[in-house]
Chain A
């Protein structure tokens, strides 16, 4: 059999941890066993370690380990705590050929190493256009000008005196998965989907700050601007600004990281990441959009007929399986397996995620777990027994506005292959019989 739907754990006899005799996939079991003999790969050894009784006792248990005997570092050895040295590989990574210069470039969140819904601050992907601005908060100012009664300047201290709000939102770059428009290109969900992160922001309502200056009746648009060497700007409809935007100064409880806009960043929930102006120093109020470089030359979506959509702000419903995936193969051999991933939508909450392991022939509802917030990522799981045969994994998210995540083929039919932005098509991972996985497209 090419592909088999996993059986839920409950249907199997619990606790024996050994291959089932009535297992239908004798072919794949034979492969596993012969593979173990010939390849001698770490994978197969691991499989044996797990499924067979050990001949000798495990020294991890029988020998007294250093950490069990000697004293470790005391308090204050690590005034700002860092991850274990065994987690060194869990870092943001870039794809150097994508851009001319690292000062205007991007790196990617290691989604396959993370769990739950919160992205740790040091792993949130970075995209900047003029390098990281290192700003002394004592010298930072926020100005409100344009169609207001009283143009104002705020210090950081002033901003912190407005009423505060805490919200968890995803931020996705509109170009996330943009390299996959013409077909499978990058082997790893870090690279195909890693321009997204999910953070709890603490900040003040943009509407409170704007109202402090007094909005004039002709006001319709906002132009937030950054203090970096690109002086980043985007036009945002005032309606959105008054609806749910925040001016944030904390992420996950601590000050924004410099690469995420320290000391102030605009939070534009559900909308493309480029609009979340970092190092926010000014907001102009106007009656027309400005058509800045990042909303004309960039962040417009070229269609096959030569027309280009502009102001495509909302991030569509999307999901990706983070494990297994090319950077996170199955190493335990056949048996009980955790499939997990993330789903999000700029329109609201995720209502449901479906997963398939046979390339879209049959789907099952995944289990959503963890807190569910509007415009935040949601964590999903599908626990199943892997029989060792090849899999074609896909996930399909549906949001509470009823949007269904489309296939890549549907997107290409509607838009062509040169849109760059807003690729939310269903991703396929091919898991091979040795547990390794690759980025593929299938028929």
Chain B
């Protein structure tokens, strides 16, 4: 790897950080910067591969070598050609991933600010080699604090089993008297679904402009700055008026019938790889921003809340109809199918898969359809 002046500079900055007392501070800032990577990468105790490989012990590791992770050909090749991760190479890669490694599948636009990269690298370093002890300890403590204290009603204590079977308590409910009563706090923890009529909506609020800043940090890497969807990640906006075209673009603005689904889905499943990490207010803000991306609301200071939520409607709500497949001719007319001389002439090929062969192994172009 050739060392660019800026890479040297960066290395200098990190060395300075590490030598000085500001190291700890750099690590703390780095932890915040790392949120940009968190949707795809994990670090710390028990970190697993997510959208991207885990980044424990990244320093000194050959590129593209974490067990069990499916890298792009480009990343594997970079490693085989001798790319080893250190402060410089990580800095260069993160600054502009696609320029640093052409063909990488890391869907991340890049990180411009050198200070951000420096603190990020200082932070990552704490999960590598000798320095690894420091951060995880802090993490462990945090995790322990987050854990709810064990509910005696939930615990299936082994001690209980020592009791005589005939003394076991049998609940009164039901036919088989199995299970126990669910506690309110348990139901609240899991029951987060929302209906079009607003049932299930939590109290809260958030504006378009707040939504934009959360979106930029936590969603844009995959869904694109304007909700246009990077690579094959889904688009969240656009496509209005395309449903009858040859290639319809089905987005929240062009296709989805209900806004409640947007709130519900973001809260339960996004960001991809870091689900349930958004507050209710953040989800309101993000939902407002998605409306804005789709030109359904136009003011940046528009605030979406539990009060005005059900007044908003998506444009395609009325286009959904019940299942009427049974009325289609081929099912409705119950004719006995023809057995002999059904079609005149000989069969002729009108289309063959080999023409646009997109079968795995067949080393040709990619297909055009996606699966949903």
Asked if A375 is at the interface of the complex by the 8 Å CB criterion, the answer is no
Asked if B369 is at the interface of the complex by the 8 Å CB criterion, the answer is yes
Given A97-B366, A230-B275, A296-B257; A441-B349 close (CB under 8 Å): yes
Q: CA of A362 to CA of B234 in the docked complex: distance in angstroms?
A: 45
Q: Are B354 and A211 in contact (CB under 8 A)?
A: no
Closest chain B residue to A327 by CB distance? B359
Asked if B169 is at the interface of the complex by the 8 Å CB criterion, the answer is no
- Residues from 230 to 248 in B contacting A, C-beta threshold 8 Å: 231-234, 243-244, 248
CB distance from A181 to the nearest CB of B (A): 8
Q: Are A392 and B347 in contact (CB under 8 A)?
A: yes
Q: List the count of A-B residue pairs having beta carbons below 8 Å apart.
A: 304
Q: Are A178 and B265 in contact (CB under 8 A)?
A: no
A residues sitting closer than 8 Å to B (CB atoms) are 2-3, 93-106, 129-131, 138, 141, 143-146, 149-155, 157-159, 161-162, 175, 178-179, 181-188, 191, 208, 211-214, 223, 225, 229-231, 233, 281-282, 284, 286, 288-293, 296-300, 302, 304-314, 316, 326, 354, 358-364, 392, 396, 398, 402-404, 406-407, 410-411, 414-415, 418, 420, 422, 430, 438-443
Q: CA of A138 to CA of B28 in the docked complex: distance in angstroms?
A: 36
Contact of A96 among B173, B272, B360, B369 (CB under 8 A): B360
CB distance from A63 to the nearest CB of B (A): 35
Q: CA of A211 to CA of B195 in the docked complex: distance in angstroms?
A: 24
Q: Are B343 and A361 in contact (CB under 8 A)?
A: yes
B residues sitting closer than 8 Å to A (CB atoms) are 50-51, 70, 107, 154, 156, 173-176, 178-182, 186-187, 190-191, 193-197, 199, 222, 231-234, 243-244, 248, 250, 252, 255-258, 260-261, 264-265, 268-269, 272-273, 275-276, 319-325, 328-331, 334-335, 337-343, 346-354, 356-360, 362, 366-367, 369-372
Q: Are A178 and B346 in contact (CB under 8 A)?
A: no
Contact of A211 among B156, B174, B357, B370 (CB under 8 A): B174
Contact of A438 among B51, B354, B358 (CB under 8 A): B354
Contacts of B357 in A (CB 8 A): 187
Q: Are A398 and B337 in contact (CB under 8 A)?
A: yes
Q: Are B181 and A363 in contact (CB under 8 A)?
A: no
3 closest residue pairs by CB, A with B? A359-B347, A212-B174, A100-B232
Closest chain A residue to B107 by CB distance? A100
Q: Are B346 and A292 in contact (CB under 8 A)?
A: no
Q: Are A292 and B342 in contact (CB under 8 A)?
A: no
Q: Are A162 and B341 in contact (CB under 8 A)?
A: no
CB distance from A60 to the nearest CB of B (A): 30
Q: CA of A48 to CA of B359 in the docked complex: distance in angstroms?
A: 31
Given A296-B261, A312-B323, A442-B349; A306-B175 close (CB under 8 Å): no
Q: Are A187 and B354 in contact (CB under 8 A)?
A: yes
Q: CA of A159 to CA of B250 in the docked complex: distance in angstroms?
A: 40
Contact of A129 among B195, B252, B257, B269 (CB under 8 A): B269
Contacts of B335 in A (CB 8 A): 404
Q: Are A143 and B264 in contact (CB under 8 A)?
A: no
User: What are 27 A-B pairs with beta-carbon distances under 8 A?
Assistant: A2-B347, A98-B370, A102-B70, A129-B269, A150-B174, A151-B187, A152-B179, A152-B182, A153-B180, A161-B178, A178-B371, A186-B359, A212-B176, A233-B268, A288-B199, A291-B260, A292-B261, A297-B252, A302-B255, A308-B243, A310-B322, A311-B322, A360-B343, A410-B328, A418-B248, A440-B349, A440-B351
